[in-house]
Chain A
């Protein structure tokens, strides 16, 4: 109690220095708690935007694929999931699955059959299309896709001819096949052709199929849209229904069991001799066209799964990892399918941690120096205490108590500033630059997530810094010999 009293009064006596220390601690507290709340919120909303709109909780993909699936870092098409029907049947019944949707990605070239403005002016050749040669497309079943991901804003037309409200769409509704053009793509073509892309306009889609041939199909523009989240990341990515996609990429076929033995042998020829022999086979004689059974070949390359509430990612992952070998698929967590987007918030966290650590090292050194000055100014006071019987422990405890009171005060004021600010941004949201927002959290204001973790972290760091900054001055104080009390002024 006496130590507290002496510490409190000593603080008041040396209030200039103590206020300086408290302000530094306040600044550090603000930096940690506000910065950490910001990063936690970015992390939360980034994850939410990715999981709610693109990946679900888990993503299934073909066991033949070497690359992991990602709607964000698309470089080349993954291997298709061959036994999609079997996998879908399993997923429909699976107690872990809330909902799921298969989809795929690929590249197409769009040809609207119009003459570019430049070609008209300069009488150039029509093949001047290098600016927008390839477009990324997402191929999916519109009804199923929208029942899982409500992630686009239709600007013109409709979402494949379906009702605006996804909840009014039934599973047996018919959608209109075609292509939904992403706004930036539409703008690019408008600039090129000098007139806007119109709804219902015919477009020829040209693409490389898996066997390396070039295929083309005609379809119509159903709508123009913007991605609701990660607009900038997904710029140039349009949507196409799976019927049109399968036509374009030749994902329509027949069961090989319907073929005759001769045909099967001819088709499975591997050496030169067999190939030449096969070339002499008249295929039309061996194919019984009326017996051929059309099969749905899957062009899907990934399936996004949302887990039921109460099932953790780890539980879901373990469950599907066990099923994988049987159904020839692999499974990853959402963050592995996020194409590095999830790592932005992680990197920010690391950056803020490093910055905070550096600032705190500086703050710690300043606090330490201020305390050393304080100890030096009280050299004879401490000497006197020691002379009249105060132990080293007493002196140590006295300085630690002083430091604790000042740091606690600075910390509490820092918290008092941060908490209302965090609550304000929780309610009103923080406006951050558009480009940054679109990359960090998929777009929009950042609404702070209120969790105790930044404050716990703040307390931990402040305690550690306070202890480290106090240790050396205290060791100086405890080494002051009592003999210094003699013949000296306090």
Chain B
């Protein structure tokens, strides 16, 4: 079953008066439970693909289907709900909410969902805190954590809503290689245990090796 389907997707940005073709008619499919890497040099269009799959940007042309629904024509509210319920994000710069501690950061998306009881929230948060190995850092704020620990929090936050897809935009870019390895291994482990689809971008060959499938992209077009 395809959880992601891009059909002839084009994305054009305007840079002053110049058109920048970020994606030039990309078509691809990602199946449920896959651990996919989108690889390519800087400026190749990796982040744009993730943005479109992540429903935080819209294609100029083409169709983006997530979990068999065409999200290209969704309005802002529908996209927001979709992001909350179907997607999880891991950012290159971790993007944790600085005023919340580890527990609260992970709990945050559950609070947005509103219909989850406090007991259930606590159960899920604690489960993923244990999963990413941050039991002893529950009360710490992001500024008190290392880069690797922050990214673990981000992973837990992305997973806590039981999303269909987790998107990770260069999750190891701001980490040293050893920590980067550990983070990708963790993602892989969760992918295997939770059967959650992971799509991550990188240009690091060592990280790419963990992927079940590599989608190579160059100048907005697929290479393989």
A9/B84 contact (C-beta < 8 A), A389-B112, A483-B56, A485-B56 known:
no
CB nearest neighbor in A for B104 = A5
Pairwise interchain contact A384-B98, C-beta atoms closer than 8 A? no
Answer yes or no: B6 CB below 8 A from chain A CBs.
no
Answer yes or no: A385 CB below 8 A from chain B CBs.
yes
Contact with A along B151-185 (1 / 0, CB 8 A): 00000011001000000011000000000000000
Interface residue range, chain A: 20 to 34
* Stretch with Cβ within 8 A of B (4 or more), from A32-40, A230-238, A240-248, A390-398: A390-398
Pairwise interchain contact A481-B96, C-beta atoms closer than 8 A? no
Pairwise interchain contact B76-A380, C-beta atoms closer than 8 A? no
Pairwise interchain contact A487-B76, C-beta atoms closer than 8 A? no
Answer yes or no: B211 CB below 8 A from chain A CBs.
no
Interchain CA distance A387-B88 in the complex, whole Å: 9
**Which B98-117 residues sit within 8 Å CB-CB of chain A?**
98-100, 104, 108-109, 111-113
Interchain CA distance A9-B98 in the complex, whole Å: 9
**Which A437-490 residues sit within 8 Å CB-CB of chain B?**
481-483, 485-490
Interchain CA distance A394-B108 in the complex, whole Å: 12
Pairwise interchain contact B89-A388, C-beta atoms closer than 8 A? yes
Pairwise interchain contact B99-A486, C-beta atoms closer than 8 A? no
Report the interface size for chain B: residues with CB under 8 A from the other chain.
36
CB nearest neighbor in B for A392 = B76
CB nearest neighbor in B for A380 = B95
A13/B98 contact (C-beta < 8 A), A389-B80, A389-B109 known:
yes
**Which A295-349 residues sit within 8 Å CB-CB of chain B?**
none
Q: B104 to chain A: which residues have CB within 8 Å? A: 5
Pairwise interchain contact A10-B111, C-beta atoms closer than 8 A? no
Interchain CA distance A13-B97 in the complex, whole Å: 12
Pairwise interchain contact B97-A486, C-beta atoms closer than 8 A? no
Contact with B along A2-22 (1 / 0, CB 8 A): 100110011011000000000
Answer yes or no: A141 CB below 8 A from chain B CBs.
no
Q: B109 to chain A: which residues have CB within 8 Å? A: 388-389
Pairwise interchain contact B92-A487, C-beta atoms closer than 8 A? yes
Answer yes or no: B51 CB below 8 A from chain A CBs.
yes
Q: Which of A381, A390, A481, A483 interacts with B98 by CB under 8 Å?
A: A381
Pairwise interchain contact A387-B47, C-beta atoms closer than 8 A? no
Interchain CA distance A12-B93 in the complex, whole Å: 23
Interchain CA distance A489-B94 in the complex, whole Å: 8
Answer yes or no: A386 CB below 8 A from chain B CBs.
yes
Residue of A2, A12, A394 with most chain B CB atoms under a 10 A cut-off = A2
A391/B56 contact (C-beta < 8 A), A385-B97, A486-B47 known:
no
Residue of A9, A387, A389, A483 with most chain B CB atoms under a 10 A cut-off = A389
Min CB distance B120 to A, Å, is: 15
Answer yes or no: B85 CB below 8 A from chain A CBs.
yes
Pairwise interchain contact B93-A490, C-beta atoms closer than 8 A? yes
Q: Which of B56, B100, B169 interacts with A482 by CB under 8 Å?
A: B56
Min CB distance B145 to A, Å, is: 13
Q: A488 to chain B: which residues have CB within 8 Å? A: 93, 95
Residue of B47, B56, B92 with most chain A CB atoms under a 10 A cut-off = B56
Pairwise interchain contact A387-B54, C-beta atoms closer than 8 A? yes
Q: Which of B91, B95, B100 interacts with A9 by CB under 8 Å?
A: B100
Pairwise interchain contact B100-A6, C-beta atoms closer than 8 A? yes
Interchain CA distance A349-B56 in the complex, whole Å: 54
Interchain CA distance A167-B109 in the complex, whole Å: 81
Q: A388 to chain B: which residues have CB within 8 Å? A: 83-84, 88-89, 108-109, 112, 157-158
Q: A5 to chain B: which residues have CB within 8 Å? A: 100, 104
Q: A394 to chain B: which residues have CB within 8 Å? A: 112
Pairwise interchain contact A387-B56, C-beta atoms closer than 8 A? yes
Residue of B85, B99, B109, B112 with most chain A CB atoms under a 10 A cut-off = B99
Min CB distance B155 to A, Å, is: 13
Answer yes or no: B77 CB below 8 A from chain A CBs.
yes
Contact with A along B56-87 (1 / 0, CB 8 A): 11000000000000000000110011011100
Can you list 10 A-B pairs, Cβ within 8 angstroms, ordered by A?
Answer: A9-B99, A13-B99, A384-B95, A389-B109, A389-B112, A483-B57, A486-B50, A486-B51, A490-B93, A490-B98
Q: Which residues of A contact B (CB under 8 A)?
A: 2, 5-6, 9-10, 12-13, 380-381, 384-392, 394, 481-483, 485-490
Known contacts A385-B108, A389-B161; 18 additional CB pairs below 8 A are: A10-B99, A381-B95, A381-B97, A384-B97, A386-B80, A388-B88, A388-B112, A388-B157, A389-B80, A391-B80, A391-B112, A392-B76, A392-B80, A481-B57, A485-B95, A486-B50, A486-B92, A489-B93
